[in-house]
A and B are shown apart, each in its own frame.
Chain A
Amino acid sequence: MKLVVVGQPFSGKSTIFREVIGYRAETASSIGAPIELPQGEVEIDGERATVVDVPGLYSLQLGDQDDPRPVEQLLAAVRDATIIDVVDATVLSRSLEFTLQLLELRRPMVVALNMVDDASRKGIEIDADRLARALGVPVVATNGKTGDGVAQLFATALAQRKSPGAERLLTRGAAWFDGAVDAIGARLVAADPALQPERHLLAIKLLERDPLVRERLRSVLGADGWAQIEDQIAALEAQGGQRSELAVSAVRHNLAFVLFEQVARVGRTPRRDLKRELDRIFMHPVLGYLMLALILAGAFALVFLVGRAIEPAILALFDRTSELAAAALGRDTVSNAVAHGILAGIGGGMVIAVPYLLPFFLILSLLEDSGYIARIAYLLDGLLHRIGLHGTSVIPLVLGYGCTVPGILATRILNSRRDKLITATLTSLIPCSARMTIIFGLVGFFISLPAAIGVYAIDLVVVIATGKVLSAAMPEVNPGLLMELPRYHLPQLKALAHKTWFRLREFVIIAWPLLIAGSVVLELINHWQLTPHINAGFAFFTRGVLGLPPAVGITLLFGLLRKELALVLLFGALGTSDVGSVLSSVQIFTFVVFVTFYVPCLATIAALARELGWRTAAAISVVTFGIAVAIAVGVRLVGALPC
């Protein structure tokens, strides 16, 4: 028994899921699913059911430029399940368009009419029984925040499981559309009788030019059959003067509106509205930017202060543990090298995760859950436009200042592959907290604080220039930002903790194991004294190109594993922690700039490969390496000028 909770973004879907499952939800990594879905067990009237939460989606209709994975994921999740469709009652008409698409899937289904109280406050009264009769599936009024109606919702869903779903609701009232769906459906069944049960859905999807269904049916139909279908769709378009995918969405749009008119009564809207009052400040042309600057500066300052306060304690703890291990295992043994590597890896991960990532992600979740992040996207859209992106890219880019891995994974929220590609490339160029420790630890400490801030400035220039070049190379297909501005919410502590943990988990799962493995390899290299050979091999590059002592070769190699390893290792490689006595200021600056840009760390490459494929990940690595060499050589040359 499986219940799948679906709905549009901001419908309150996850709140309902959490109301039932709580925060003990397990995430199941089903094979082929790109993103793990939260799920949990619930007992309803003595019967156990698995409840799955699918990320919010506005539509199941896919365009050519869209990432098909979220839709595929939803379709896979509901295949053998009962659908719980959570609808935001305040935006019923639009939400019903999605509900109609779900009905086309002909799965057992229940509609949760959520936030009815909010709707009623805004003067919208909805007749749930009437809506149920019109849709042909049960409708339960709920309030996710108080939990009202949620038990009844799940009991109804359980009772629904044998129901075959609704009749062909979509086609009611549009005769030309009915005709086309029937004709294409008949052709499909003639080609393969096994398609009989899904013929209507498939016909609609063909009219939508759904890339997934087209791919699937092209081989089933054969060249002739396929050409006939294409002709039929073309004829329909000629007749209607409109692309068929838009015609389908127009049919749904109209039907949803008619349904809305039938079941809802709209009275007068109250004049006072918290959202509008807050937006008057946060989205104000001047005040808005002032607030943004204050909030971001406050967030970074807080992260930096918390990090600096906690970091030494964690490092001390691991130093002590390493001493104990060395005492127990003997100093010059392989097992001590391995143990020391593991401890250093765990410690290194802790030093990033606890002092920097944890507060950073907590603040970011706060901005996200309160609804403020959408306002940041609004405010910065114009600026991001100049580097070929739009406001939505703000989230991955800002996350990138914490850790590049969650930043890259957050590019999922972007629609087009082009935007993902550019944003991911720029995110990997943004100095993460590991790089921050290098910038402040070397340039900040041995040169000056303004010089450290200078590295950030250079970085910003590089990010902007790279964005300009990439967007010029890939002219925009999709003309920009399109985003719903959600209501403001008082964030719930539990939800915040949960979201923070989820982001942190991405670091723990993807990055941490690599840190530990890298540390072990490094310790073994040290143990077997392979370092001089490695350094000699890279001397042409380190000395020849960058003008640095060959001893830094090993640090750059291991900086690939974890950027801040470059800093830790530098002390060992140079034989002193007083870097300023061995390297000139220009050399320190060159080293730091190179480390900041050259090839994302291994965990980032893994994240890039996961989101964009291995080839793209390799391409981004090569590009960033090129940028690093160019900037580092530039710094070296400028440094060599007589002052």
Chain B
Amino acid sequence: MKLDLNKGPRLNLLGCRPGDWVRIVSIDAGAGAALNLSRLGLSPGDQVQVLRRSPLAGPIVVRLGESEIAIGRGLAERVLVERAPA
């Protein structure tokens, strides 16, 4: 059986666990949100590590190089990612 990664549910940041390494594929939100992410250095193609998820429906923290960025759930859900090697 052949797996087509482009089909089926896509993985987003919200679906990742602490410790996961992922590559950002696209940002499925308006240009404003994508721009806001790019300000903090997060753009499609970048590889990040998920560090922690907050309880109470709070943000996800990712590590990009030496900086750590908290991303609210609404936004994290729209950041589509794929698994990447550590």
Contact surface of A with B, Cβ cutoff 8 Å: 58-59, 61, 63-66, 90-91, 93-94, 97, 119, 122, 124, 243, 245-246, 249-250, 253, 275, 279, 283, 285, 374, 377-383, 385, 390-391, 415, 476-485
Interface core residue of A90, A93, A122 (most chain B CB under 10 Å): A93
Cβ of B70 and Cβ of A482 under 8 Å apart? yes
Considering the complex, give the chain A residue whose CB is closest to the CB of B76: A480
Cβ of B32 and Cβ of A249 under 8 Å apart? no
In Å, the complex CA distance between A275 and B36 comes to 25
- Chain B 36-74, CB-CB to A under 8 Å as 1, else 0, gives 111111011000000010111111010011111111111
Interface core residue of B32, B33, B61, B75 (most chain A CB under 10 Å): B32
Cβ of A482 and Cβ of B57 under 8 Å apart? no
- Cβ distance B78 to chain A, nearest Cβ, rounded Å: 7
- Cβ distance A251 to chain B, nearest Cβ, rounded Å: 11
Cβ of B54 and Cβ of A249 under 8 Å apart? no
Interface core residue of A61, A378, A479 (most chain B CB under 10 Å): A479
Cβ of B65 and Cβ of A63 under 8 Å apart? no
In Å, the complex CA distance between A476 and B66 comes to 31
With contact pairs A122-B66, A124-B66, A379-B54 given, residues A481 and B31 touching in the complex (Cβ less than 8 Å) = no
In Å, the complex CA distance between A285 and B33 comes to 27
B84 on interface, CB distance cutoff 8 Å: no
Q: Which 7 A-B pairs have the closest CB atoms?
A: A480-B72, A94-B41, A382-B58, A481-B72, A382-B56, A479-B74, A58-B39
Cβ of B35 and Cβ of A249 under 8 Å apart? yes
Q: How large is the interface on B (under 10, 10 to 19, 20 to 34, 35 or more residues)?
A: 35 or more
In Å, the complex CA distance between A235 and B72 comes to 34
In Å, the complex CA distance between A246 and B32 comes to 9
What does DSSP make chain B's interface, helix, strand, loop or mixed?
A: mixed
In Å, the complex CA distance between A390 and B55 comes to 14
With contact pairs A59-B39, A246-B34, A253-B38 given, residues A481 and B78 touching in the complex (Cβ less than 8 Å) = no
Cβ of B35 and Cβ of A245 under 8 Å apart? yes
Cβ of A253 and Cβ of B69 under 8 Å apart? no
Considering the complex, give the chain A residue whose CB is closest to the CB of B44: A250
Cβ of B32 and Cβ of A381 under 8 Å apart? no
With contact pairs A382-B57, A482-B75 given, residues A246 and B70 touching in the complex (Cβ less than 8 Å) = no
Determine the chain A residues whose CB is within 8 A of the CB of B67 once the complex forms.
90-91, 94, 484
In Å, the complex CA distance between A484 and B36 comes to 12
Cβ of B38 and Cβ of A381 under 8 Å apart? no
Interface core residue of A58, A90, A94, A253 (most chain B CB under 10 Å): A94
**Which of A279, A374, A383, A391 contacts B72 (CB under 8 A)?**
A391
Cβ of A478 and Cβ of B35 under 8 Å apart? no
Determine the chain A residues whose CB is within 8 A of the CB of B43 once the complex forms.
249-250, 253
Determine the chain A residues whose CB is within 8 A of the CB of B35 once the complex forms.
59, 61, 63, 245-246, 249
Considering the complex, give the chain A residue whose CB is closest to the CB of B34: A246
A-B contact pairs, 24 of them (CB 8 A): A65-B32, A66-B32, A90-B66, A91-B65, A93-B41, A119-B66, A246-B34, A250-B44, A379-B58, A380-B58, A381-B72, A382-B57, A385-B58, A385-B73, A390-B72, A476-B74, A478-B33, A479-B33, A479-B74, A479-B78, A480-B73, A481-B59, A481-B72, A482-B36
Cβ of A93 and Cβ of B56 under 8 Å apart? no
Cβ of B55 and Cβ of A480 under 8 Å apart? no
Cβ of B70 and Cβ of A479 under 8 Å apart? no
Cβ of A63 and Cβ of B38 under 8 Å apart? no
Considering the complex, give the chain A residue whose CB is closest to the CB of B66: A90
In Å, the complex CA distance between A91 and B41 comes to 9
In Å, the complex CA distance between A93 and B38 comes to 12
- Cβ distance B48 to chain A, nearest Cβ, rounded Å: 12
Cβ of A93 and Cβ of B65 under 8 Å apart? yes
Determine the chain A residues whose CB is within 8 A of the CB of B69 once the complex forms.
482-485
**Which of B36, B59, B71, B78 contacts A63 (CB under 8 A)?**
B36
- Cβ distance B55 to chain A, nearest Cβ, rounded Å: 4
Cβ of A484 and Cβ of B68 under 8 Å apart? yes
Determine the chain B residues whose CB is within 8 A of the CB of A380 once the complex forms.
58
